[in-house]
Amino acid sequence: MDINDTMSNSTTVSWLPNTTMTTTSIPAVHSYTVRVVVGVLFLLIAVINITGNSMVIFAVIFSKKLRTSTNVFVVSLSSADLLAGLALPMSAVALLSPGNSWPGSTEAPCYIAGLLLFTSSTASLFNLASIALNRLILIKSPMKMYLILYTKCNLVINVVVIWIVAIAIMTVPPLLEIGSFGFDKQQHTCTDLDNHPKAKTFKQIQTFGSYPISFIIIITSYIMIFVHVRRHFKKEMRKNDNITVTSISSSSGGVTSFQTSDNAAIMRASRRDRISRQQLEITKNLFMTVCAFFICITPYSVALFLPNNDRFLLYGGVVFLCNSCVNPIIYAAKHPQFKKVLRLMLRCKYSEIEEPSDTIKYLTAKCCCKS
């Protein structure tokens, strides 16, 4: 079949809006060789994505130490990224198919893949905003307020709301016949359809429903964290300078009891400083995931505004999708808590996981019994 061939018949999926495969001839933008290369890249990203994000989720299941309020959003973020990984094989199938139409009898799988991909992107952004806000409140507010705000019930409500809003943004407009998902004959991928009569309105809903509020929360939160941490460490440095001066003067006066008390104060200050530095390290690495997201999304976003951008969209999409498998790599390399657990999992040393959960205890016991 020639690359520009079209289907002679149209097939409609009754339970999905706007999934009729039309007979309109739309030339493919990329050669079959390019599509094969991109299709293989999609499959590679999918494998890394599914493996990495599954390990992050299992790390929290296996270790009680990782069950913090922040990591609730980290798991939700990994779940969103995992959805993207599960959706990618459908686009790979479309890219690797030699014809210029969806290879199956119905576009339903491609519609679902496009829906999952866009819902994943929106949910990821909402989760990144929730993580940023969580770190801000943890670092800047009293612990009492943090514990009141982030109870188990409130965390569940927060995550559920994130997913309901993300799903609503991507499903309600198509149900109202404002845009749709399916097979894009120009790019040969499963995505939102640019040839839909109300495609521009759908893109506007996606953009304004997903990005402005989340972007403002992320930027504002990390700026406030940076300012607060900078002030905190300047204040601590001044305190330490005062303690050192006092210690020197008390030493020359021979007041032993004051020295002992002062040493205890130094130890307490050192412990507080260690804890704050650990939280700062965690915050810094979570900020890296935000940077990775915006670095990966930028080429695709820029391509959307370029004239005659059809050729660049597919390449920008590859970079954008890389974000879904970057986060587990950041956690494994840098996050002080996840790093230990993930490395033990990679080495199959589950019995050495710190604060193991009942799940891993049960699985380890079963394995030991069989051996």
Rounded Cα distance, 67 and 61, in Å: 8
> What's the predicted TM-score (pTM) here?
0.79
Residue 98 pLDDT: 85
**Residue in 123, 171, 203 with CA at minimum distance from that of residue 16:** 171
Question: Is 267 inside a domain boundary?
Answer: yes
* Burial call 130-148: b when 16+ CB within 10 Å, e when fewer: bbbbbbbbbbbeeeeeeee
Q: How far apart are CA 176 and CA 196, in angstroms?
A: 13
Which secondary-structure segment (H or E) carries 345?
A: helix 338-346
* pLDDT value of position 277: 67
Using the predicted structure, report yes or no on whether residue 117 has a pLDDT greater than 90.
yes
Residue 42 lies in a domain: yes
Which range in 12-26, 125-139, 257-271, 276-290 is most confidently predicted, on average pLDDT?
Answer: 125-139
Least Cα distance to 183 among 18, 8, 9 occurs for: 18
pLDDT, tens digit, for every residue of 155-189? 999 999 999 999 999 999 999 999 899 998 888 88
Note the pLDDT tens digit of each residue in 258-297.
344 444 444 444 444 544 666 677 777 778 888 888 888 8
| Tokens 């300012």 -> residue | 227
Q: Considering its fold, how many domains does the chain have in total? A: 1
pLDDT reported for residue 260 = 40
The predicted structure's pLDDT at residue 316: 84
Whether 23 is in a domain gets the answer: no
Range of the structural domain that residue 60 is part of: 32-363
- Identify residue 250 by its one-letter amino acid code: S
Whether the per-residue pLDDT at 358 is higher than 90: the answer is: no
Please indicate, yes or no, if residue 24 is contained in any of the structural domains: no
Q: Residue 140: its pLDDT value, please?
A: 85
Of 235, 16, 224, 234, nearest to 109 by C-alpha is 16
Distance of CA 217 to the CA centre of its chain: 16
**pLDDT tops 80 at residue 240:** no
Among the listed ranges 6-15, 105-114, 182-191, 325-334, which one has the minimum average pLDDT value? 6-15
Q: Is 21 helix (H, G, I), strand (E, B) or coil?
A: coil
Tokens coding 187 = 């790019």
| Residue 327 maps to a domain | yes
Q: Give the pLDDT confidence of 337-347 residue by residue, as tens digits.
A: 888 898 888 88
Residue type, 198: K
Tokens 């995931």 correspond to what residue?
289
Instruction: Give a yes or no: residue 132 inside a domain.
Output: yes
Beta carbons of 292 and 327 less than 8 angstroms apart: yes
| Predicted confidence (pLDDT) at residue 127 exceeds the cutoff of 70 | yes
For position 62, which CATH number holds?
1.20.1070.10
Q: Please give the Cα distance from 71 to 12 (Å, whole number).
A: 42
